[in-house]
Amino acid sequence: MNFDNELMKQGHLTRIQSTAFKIYLVKIQDKTYFCYFPKQECQNRNHINEFLKNDMQQQDEIKYLRKLNKIGSQSFYAFESYKEYTLLSELKQLKEQLILKIFQDLLVALFTIHQKGLLGRCFNVHNILIVENQYSVMMEYGFYPDLEYEVPELIYNQTYNEKIDIFLLGRVIFYLMVGNDLPKYNMKNLNEVSSDINLSIAQTNYSESLKKLVIQMLTIDVNKRIDYLQLFSKFKNNQFYSIQEQFYKQNSLKIITQKIIEKREKKSNINLDESTAFEIQQTSNFTKMIKDQQIKTSQNLLSDKSTIDSSQIDSLNLISFDPPESEDYTNYKSLNQDQIISKVNYQPQTQTLSKTKYDTEEIIINNSSFENDTLLSVLPFLNSDRPQDQQIWNKIYFYLYRFSLMTKLIEELQSHLKQCNKYLIVIAIYGMKKAQLILKREYQISLEQCKNLYSIPTQEWERFTLLSAEYKRMIGKIKFDIDVDQRVLLQKDYIQLQKILDQNKNEGFLKDLYKFIENYLNDNKEKNNFDDIKRSYRYILTNTLSFFETQDDNNYPYVRLLIMMCILINRICDVQSIPSHFKTICKFLNINQIYSIVQIEQFFKKATKQEYIELFEELKLCYFSG
């Protein structure tokens, strides 16, 4: 131990942060190392010592992780140092291409430790280095250190899972974009912090694709947070992508780490009970880019911290949907907007159904990890992989899926903002977001009043609402989501809408459209009845549909289908309505009936353009044939 003390005296304490170690720059046998000395408070915690060996294992295969040197003793660990390096925390508001390069480096680093059954878990901008102005190196990760930051799921759910690394990586990228760290979460400020984070990202000058991706990574609801497959697909141009894709498809990371997390946190101070592909320039260009932004080198690690502010102007034009291969699109027929406005409220004969008989037998639901993951990535407000009372939850899932359909359309519309009728798309996006918020409020009230919207026998429903903790938790999460949506709608979306309207106020078409929807767009009172706004909402969507009918693009049948489904949003997933439509999906999947939203998701992902058209025509015929 005296030898260790002498080494620390001879060395320099770096500003690389760790909750478990003091990290010194020490010269041993004419070579300099980063030496990790366990902090005193960690030395007597025997229950976590078993994690130390795996955390400190040698990582020679890639350059993005610290390199262990065997010169260390039992009381400290020595890692290779670098001639020139800087802490990531000394870089702010970088150019987008540089952020993307750092982003990709860290993804490769995380993938490597994930393969070994570890999590990043404790990395941040204060323990990641930029080496020789070329690449990033993660200097802290694993299960031995205590968590440095409480991710939101620890606040509201008292636990975390493998998606903690997605949030922490989003936190790193947020810092590089905004120049500040994320605020600390607590139960009293969840709503405010989430809204402020989204607004801070939205106010930067980076591409919409990057902003959208980081917001998805920082989503408070861990089940709505982007998953690893989706995240890695944004960076397909790295040499490890095919291996990464195969690894995360197997969902083995979740299985491997679940028990380790429970074991690690059992005696700790933690109360434990789901954008497009980016293109990154060649690495050789980054030396100049970094030098141009005056990155400070290794000498500054031992001195006072300074910050660098520099402007960025890079922007990537990226589209989020990969259109299917398709047949000729010549049989598509236009849908008259007056027909929709007048007929959509009419209950067609095929919809005159007796109350659906509640099937007391087990509903045939595939319990595969694929279905669980699909449900969790698509549905809002869920906490667990598979709650009890699956029959009841399956019907609730269909109602929740309405919000997912609306989100799908909003995302598609956002990807078309560069079309000539930009103001129409902006109006449609705002109209969709506002209607989604009102529909959520309406549904929240139904949940709080325990209304049985699902044709479930009374006694079964009363027992469920009385005993289901998941149901009560969902109500609370919907309330939170509504509050965040309302703030963003008024503080960001409404301001953007007014700016676009002012720029196009002399357009003749806009004048004609605006007189029918002015009250809807400008009335910022909190409404909770969809019937109050449905005519204006549908008027906006039918005009948007007409716009896409005049365009020719492989992706547009998918967009038109989403528009049609959102026009019918208050009945498209009603449990009594489902038997009378989605026949196209049944035919596509070779099944007799739709019993899970996963089947609809499979159709969206695998159908051709012609099959999108067929489902569009099916819904059109079902509701507007008169």
The pLDDT tens digits for 202-218 are 888 899 899 999 999 99
Least Cα distance to 548 among 377, 415, 448 occurs for 415
Is residue 309 situated within a structural domain? no
Those residues whose C-beta lies under 8 Å from the C-beta of residue 267, and which sit 6 or more positions away, are 47
Final residue before a domain boundary, out of 58, 80, 102: 80
Q: Are 318 and 237 in contact (CB under 8 A)?
A: no
Q: How many domains, the chain?
A: 3
By DSSP bridging, strand 31-38 and strand 68-69 are unpaired
Mean pLDDT of 129-141: 93
**Which residue type occupies 112?**
T
In this structure, are 68 and 184 located in the same domain? no
Output the domain CATH number for residue 20: 3.30.200
Q: Which residue has the tokens 């956002």?
A: 414
Residue 212 lies in a domain: yes
pLDDT given for residue 238 in this prediction: 75
Same domain, 28 and 97: no
- Residue 290 lies in domain: 85-298
**pLDDT at 182 exceeding the cut of 60:** yes
Check pLDDT > 90 for residue 159.
Answer: no
Task: Give the lowest-confidence range in 61-75, 302-316, 335-349.
Answer: 302-316
What is the token pair recorded at 97? 């291409």
Which stretch, 30-34, 39-43, 318-322, 621-625, has highest mean pLDDT? Answer: 30-34
Least confident of 54-63, 348-357, 365-374, 613-622: 348-357
Q: What is the pLDDT of residues 333-360, one digit of tens each?
A: 334 444 444 334 434 333 333 333 333 3
Write down the number of H helices and E strands in the chain. 26, 8
62 plus 102 within the same structural domain: no
SS percent in the chain: helix, strand, coil, step 5: 55, 5, 40
User: In which element (H, E) is residue 68 found?
Assistant: strand 68-69
8 Å CB contact between 231 and 209: no
515 and 564 in a single domain? The answer is: yes
Same domain, 70 and 114: no
Joined tokens for residue 614: 């067929």
SS3 467: helix
| Per-residue pLDDT band at 99 (split at 50, 70, 90) | very high
Reported as a single tens digit per residue, the pLDDT across 445-471 is 999 999 999 989 999 999 999 998 888
263-272, 421-430, 462-471, 573-582: which has the minimum mean pLDDT? 263-272
pLDDT of residue 413 exceeding 80, the answer is yes
Helix (H) or strand (E) holding 582: none
**305 located within any domain:** no
pLDDT digits (tens, 9 = 90+) for 14-46: 889 998 998 998 888 888 899 998 888 777 777
Mark whether 147 and 280 lie in a shared domain: yes
What's the confidence (pLDDT) of residue 110?
A: 95
